[in-house]
């Protein structure tokens, strides 16, 4: 055996790697696994050789976890990481390990896709966790290219939802083999068998192939950490799922020839700069290798790979080379974009770039020019904001930025209000100050007709509130396509214009006492549906700058609802509340109670202030009118009129 190892450990072995891979390698794989896991003293060169041999010989499975928002993708990945023994037995790993972004943890949603890997029975499983919200569909589209199969996670009660359909369609189109995992079977009202049928019907409607329709099904509860082939027989681990992945997901095919890799993601390090991430399609990439970078427009740039990293556990490990089928990170490539190809230096053959769906919504971004500008933020100038938006374009494929006539305004195009609001929130936390206008849908002219984006809207609500919801949606030009009873709850599906969904969520939750679950996905462009009534109430606008007093707010409460607290600083033109009528009302909230020797502060009744309405960022963006901005700073969020001066506003309204 020592002779065998010494013979194979010669450097020349690695030059003949492809020949060795082509023969039956089960013996070598078992040998390598034994040497890397053995506890007795083994010569160091044997261990090194065994580790390298395992790298080359091990099976690889590239899988993407796809599902609707909140069906348990990230929780399932947590359990897979624990099953892969990435943590010590005495180490507390916490929950939602991959949602390491503050914004992700606060909102409870995955925004950025993540790559991790585990080793299971000598098989390396590369796991890609994808976002569940349709607004981040751009993330899903590009990372699916790295996978050979997918785990479709479905809630055992809710069944396939709009986003399930959206992501599954993308996965089936590129030929991924699905493994269906029906999660949350521990719920008292679950219906796993019905959901199984629904998934099959969905795949049929999406024109899945015969092989794709022959999918395996695993049942379980990711939260409780068990999976089983029979939902009525729980186990105590998730190994049945891992076994199912290894058995059913095909290993990537080793393609010989000149190297090819499509850049599908990127990372950034302050030490090494931008890092290109993707899956090696063909051939082998090595350290210090000269390559051609083929841009999306067809231009070719000569470049050099300084370092090659592969994904190991939660991090990356440096390696000498990486072969066809594995996912890797390359350091040293400059001026690349997502969708570019890395090819052979002499004979470049680029891969087909990633096709991304077009944005459906736009929003005006501008510098903060309010009286309070520069008080909170570090980055306030147009140059700062322009550089930040350019930087975002590098990694956010579904985003578009268009400069306006003036240097301090930009039109930013995205998938939806949530997609754009996450960008705004991220900028705000980084110390930027900016102002954004009302979200606008993007119209297209098709066959000489004005068309607008239509979305498939699904609302799940208890039966008592269903009539209110239907009335609300139909007023906004929604058309009901289906209605289904699930016990006490009703699932309704509508075809709805995108502009009708803006501001709908808040109204639906209010009308249903917080019971409604609402989801939507882009469907297609259809002819314009006519005018939609948005907010009918006018705004209460501050007359002058100063400190808002409880005395003034108390006297004005019969005029409408307020958005500010007493002792809050305001400026002239700031929107401080909602008028009970349809016109705007200018008021003085800075008026204080004048004290004299006959009028003491305690003689009148104490002011009884109704608590103000506090908006989230999405709610504020959906609430504002065309002539209003949302001012965003690291510490505050205010609504204001575009024209602050009252007389100027009157003049412009007449013209």
In angstroms, the CA 113 to CA 128 distance is 7
In angstroms, the CA 334 to CA 320 distance is 20
H or E segment and range at residue 362: strand 361-367
Query: Is 503 annotated among the ligand-binding residues?
Result: no
Taking a C-beta distance cutoff of 8 angstroms, is the pair 172, 144 a contact? no
> How close are the terminal C-alpha atoms of the chain, in Å?
93
Query: Is 70 annotated among the ligand-binding residues?
Result: yes
Task: Tokens for 248, please give them.
Answer: 């059913």
Helices and strands in the chain, H and E counts: 20, 35
647 Cβ contact partners less than 8 Å away, ≥ 6 residues apart: none
Query: Is 284 annotated among the ligand-binding residues?
Result: no
Query: Is 133 annotated among the ligand-binding residues?
Result: no
Name the one residue in this structure whose structure tokens are 């506890």: 39
Query: Is 401 annotated among the ligand-binding residues?
Result: no
The alpha carbon torsion through 294, 298, 301, 307 (nearest 10 deg) reads -10
327 Cβ contact partners less than 8 Å away, ≥ 6 residues apart: 62, 115, 117, 126, 146, 277, 278, 279, 280, 310, 311
Query: Is 603 annotated among the ligand-binding residues?
Result: no
Taking a C-beta distance cutoff of 8 angstroms, is the pair 347, 258 a contact? yes
Taking a C-beta distance cutoff of 8 angstroms, is the pair 75, 69 a contact? no
Taking a C-beta distance cutoff of 8 angstroms, is the pair 518, 505 a contact? yes
Taking a C-beta distance cutoff of 8 angstroms, is the pair 55, 30 a contact? no
Taking a C-beta distance cutoff of 8 angstroms, is the pair 98, 74 a contact? yes
Query: Is 186 annotated among the ligand-binding residues?
Result: yes
In angstroms, the CA 401 to CA 380 distance is 18
Query: Is 75 annotated among the ligand-binding residues?
Result: yes
Task: Tokens for 268, please give them.
Answer: 């950034």
Task: Tokens for 24, please give them.
Answer: 């039956």
Task: Locate the DSSP E strands across 192-299.
Answer: 217-221, 226-228, 260-269, 273-282, 284-286, 290-294
Q: Could you tell me which residues are annotated as the binding site?
A: 70-75, 183-186
Q: Could you tell me which residues are annotated as the binding site for GTP?
A: 70-75, 183-186
């Amino acid at each position: 055996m020592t002779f065998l190892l010494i013979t194979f450990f010669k450097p020349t072995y690695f030059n003949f790697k492809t020949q060795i891979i082509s023969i039956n390698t089960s013996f070598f794989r078992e040998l390598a696994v034994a040497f890397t896991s053995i506890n007795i003293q083994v010569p160091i060169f044997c261990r090194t050789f065994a580790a390298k041999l395992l790298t080359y010989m091990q099976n690889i499975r590239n899988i993407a976890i796809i599902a609707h928002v909140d069906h348990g993708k990230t929780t399932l990945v947590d359990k897979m990481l624990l099953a892969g023994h990435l943590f010590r037995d005495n180490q507390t790993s916490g929950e939602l390990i991959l949602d390491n972004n503050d914004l992700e943890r606060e909102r409870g949603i995955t925004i950025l896709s993540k790559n991790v890997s585990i080793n299971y029975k000598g098989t390396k499983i590369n796991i890609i966790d994808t976002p569940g919200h349709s607004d981040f569909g751009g993330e899903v589209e590009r990372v699916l290219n790295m996978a050979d199969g997918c785990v479709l996670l479905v809630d055992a009660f809710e069944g396939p939802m709009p986003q399930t359909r959206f992501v599954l369609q993308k996965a089936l189109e590129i030929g991924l083999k699905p493994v269906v995992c029906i999660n949350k079977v521990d719920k008292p009202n679950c219906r796993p068998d019905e959901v199984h049928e629904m998934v099959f019907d969905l795949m049929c409607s999406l024109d899945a192939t015969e092989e794709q329709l022959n999918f395996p099904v695993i049942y379980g509860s990711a939260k409780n950490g068990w999976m089983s082939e029979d939902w009525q027989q729980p186990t105590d681990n998730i190994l049945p799922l891992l076994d199912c992945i290894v058995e059913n997901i095909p290993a990537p095919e080793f393609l010989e020839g000149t190297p090819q890799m499509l850049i599908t993601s990127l990372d950034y390090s302050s030490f090494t700069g931008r890092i290109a991430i993707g899956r090696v399609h063909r051939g082998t990439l090595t350290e210090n290798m000269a390559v051609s970078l083929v841009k999306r427009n067809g231009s070719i740039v000569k470049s050099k790979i300084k370092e090659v990293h592969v994904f190991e556990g939660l991090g990356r490990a440096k390696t000498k080379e990486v072969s066809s089928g594995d996912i890797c990170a390359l350091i040293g490539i400059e001026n690349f974009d997502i969708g570019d190809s890395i090819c052979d230096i002499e004979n470049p053959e680029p891969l087909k770039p990633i096709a991304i769906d077009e944005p459906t919504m736009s929003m005006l971004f501008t510098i903060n020019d309010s009286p309070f500008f520069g008080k909170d933020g570090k980055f306030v100038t147009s140059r700062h904001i322009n550089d930040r938006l350019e930087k975002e374009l590098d990694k956010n494929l579904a985003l578009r930025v268009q400069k306006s006539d003036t240097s301090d305004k930009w039109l930013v195009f995205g998938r939806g209000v949530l997609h754009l609001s996450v960008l705004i929130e991220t900028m705000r936390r980084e110390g930027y100050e900016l102002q954004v206008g009302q979200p606008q849908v993007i119209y297209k002219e098709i066959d000489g007709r004005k068309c607008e984006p239509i979305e498939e809207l699904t609302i799940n609500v208890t039966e008592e509130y269903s009539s209110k919801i239907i009335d609300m949606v139909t007023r906004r030009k929604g058309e009901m396509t289906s209605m289904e009873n699930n016990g006490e709850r009703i699932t309704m599906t509508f075809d709805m214009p995108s502009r009708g969904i803006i501001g709908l969520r808040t109204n639906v939750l209010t009308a249903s006492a917080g019971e409604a679950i609402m989801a939507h996905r882009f469907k297609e462009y259809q002819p314009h549906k006519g005018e939609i009534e948005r907010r009918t109430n006018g705004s209460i606008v501050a007359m002058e700058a100063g400190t808002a007093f409880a005395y003034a707010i108390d006297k004005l409460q019969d005029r409408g609802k307020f958005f500010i607290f007493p002792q809050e600083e305001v400026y002239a033109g700031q929107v401080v509340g909602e008028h009970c009528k349809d016109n705007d009302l200018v008021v003085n909230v800075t008026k204080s109670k004048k004290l004299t020797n006959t009028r003491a502060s305690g003689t009148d009744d104490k002011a009884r202030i109704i608590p103000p309405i506090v908006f989230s960022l999405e709610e504020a963006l959906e609430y504002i009118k065309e002539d209003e901005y949302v001012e965003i700073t690291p510490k505050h969020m205010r609504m204001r009129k575009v024209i602050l001066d009252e007389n100027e506003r009157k003049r412009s309204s007449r013209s």
